[in-house]
Structure 1
């Protein structure tokens, strides 16, 4: 008689919109035995313009429902704004759950820079967060770090990945503050501190006034998830775990088609 395979719990990936798909893509490579549930809080998108306390309350309330409904093995918070704001509260309220967070990749940027000029391209919420400034103080004290909070790039990325065109000049307006010249030195690393932004990385490279390293944290987040969720290759995940949930309950056709491209059915 063939040995029975045990059923694995899914990993839940949470983001304000579809930016977390950049993390999901990397996590699937490293965690092939796991199923994934992707949750987009599109009803609350974009997070960058929210006041802190209402947004934190929203995220905590959402997770009270999500964890009870889906019982995941672990949760990847694929959103800098959400995790820097609510990560500590989530871990305190749900101590039995593994939370893998997303924070601006300031430490690796400080380790890699040669010029000492680093920019962090983020949402306004992430830029103003004390968590971000603590990272700079702890890991990048010897660098000049410019924080650039974009009101519009996350929305542009959502439109672009759905197949809409975006004007070069509008993108350039958002990224130009990242490029600093000082004492004969130039910015050489830009941290992409929003998971939406890697979808636009090729446009950023084309429009940049000089070459820089655009630091995408998605692979590092996936590696951390792999470390916290041990492999279980003697088990299998049910196919029904691979789906996407939108808090609006009404994703449009292009979004549904995008989810299909990532192997997710839409609930």
Structure 2
């Protein structure tokens, strides 16, 4: 039996969507949630600087927490640094988050699929390679939203959001070609599922919003399947913020997910 945690990492609170699904599948596991709020938003970073930050940050996190595995619950960080993290820390098991283009391509009936992501994820070669590998039989529209991750954080903290702002960010994903319309939108940022209800409400027409959190959690469960479980103690798992000083609203959010801030 091991007491080592699974580390779930994101730039903000978006990775809580993955943590939620992971706990459903692995109720006897310990977790530590890490939010790089000091670096948020990642879209403002130059690629090499962000990559260096992630490599250094994960070195410190692995030394401190000695996790069973590290879940990078962030498309931007995964598409940029997953390979280099595996190279730098070969003994650690990493599970990344990449756009769910394969399942979207398999499910679409209209052949029109959109990927709603951050600008960084949209421009990554990793994303282009996924489209080339799995999206050949459909037409994939990539839309990089500058504001949506921040809107999700705002919504989580305050419970209110300007729905017209949400519509402005998602509208480019809705494509019409003759009688065909976009029928699947891939949510390629873990922040976005927090706005799913607002997206459905403001969408020009109904679509299938593809949230990868459950699939990521299943992969994590497979990766750590050979490790022992813990006995449930009732203690809250820790949430670590790189700023060292999350605000009251953020503390309230993570507490609602069964986490205690350190």
Q: TM-score, normalised by structure 1?
A: 0.95
Matches within 5 A, 1:98-137: 98-137=93-132
Matches within 5 A, 1:134-145: 134-145=129-140
Shift of 1:51: 1.3
Separation of aligned partners in 2, 1:60 and 1:241: 28
Q: 2:150 aligns with which of 155, 158, 161?
A: 155
Deviation by residue 1:183-218 (Cα, 9 ceiling, x = unmatched): 210000000000000000000001001000000000
Partner secondary structure for residue 14 of structure 1: strand
Partner secondary structure for residue 146 of structure 1: strand
Q: 1:65 aligns with which of 60, 65, 90?
A: 60
Separation of aligned partners in 2, 1:63 and 1:233: 23
Q: 2:77 aligns with which of 82, 91, 96?
A: 82
Q: Judge conservation of contact 1:109–1:118 (CA < 8 Å) in 2.
A: yes
Change (3 A) 1:37 1:103: same
Residue of structure 2 equivalent to 1:182: 177
Separation of aligned partners in 1, 2:93 and 2:235: 22
How many residues end up aligned between the 2 structures? 262
Q: Judge conservation of contact 2:2–2:227 (CA < 8 Å) in 1.
A: no
Shift of 1:234: 6.1
Specify every segment of 5 or more residues in structure 2 that has no aligned partner in the other structure, as ranges. none
Separation of aligned partners in 1, 2:159 and 2:179: 39
Shift of 1:165: 1.7
Residue of structure 1 equivalent to 2:241: 246
Partner secondary structure for residue 162 of structure 1: helix
Separation of aligned partners in 2, 1:7 and 1:68: 17
Residue of structure 2 equivalent to 1:3: none
Deviation by residue 1:213-239 (Cα, 9 ceiling, x = unmatched): 000000000000001111667643666
Separation of aligned partners in 1, 2:208 and 2:200: 9
Partner secondary structure for residue 39 of structure 1: strand
Separation of aligned partners in 2, 1:30 and 1:170: 34
Separation of aligned partners in 2, 1:168 and 1:240: 37
Specify every segment of 5 or more residues in structure 1 that has no aligned partner in the other structure, as ranges. 1-5
Q: TM-score, normalised by structure 2?
A: 0.97
Shift of 1:240: 5.9
Residue of structure 2 equivalent to 1:225: 220
Separation of aligned partners in 1, 2:7 and 2:114: 30
Range moving further from structure 2, 72-81 or 227-236: 227-236
Deviation by residue 1:45-68 (Cα, 9 ceiling, x = unmatched): 011222110010010010010000
Q: Judge conservation of contact 2:182–2:207 (CA < 8 Å) in 1.
A: yes
Q: 1:36 aligns with which of 31, 36, 39?
A: 31
Structure 1: which 4+ aligned runs deviate by more than 4 Å? Answer: 231-234, 237-241
1:191 matched to 2:186 = yes
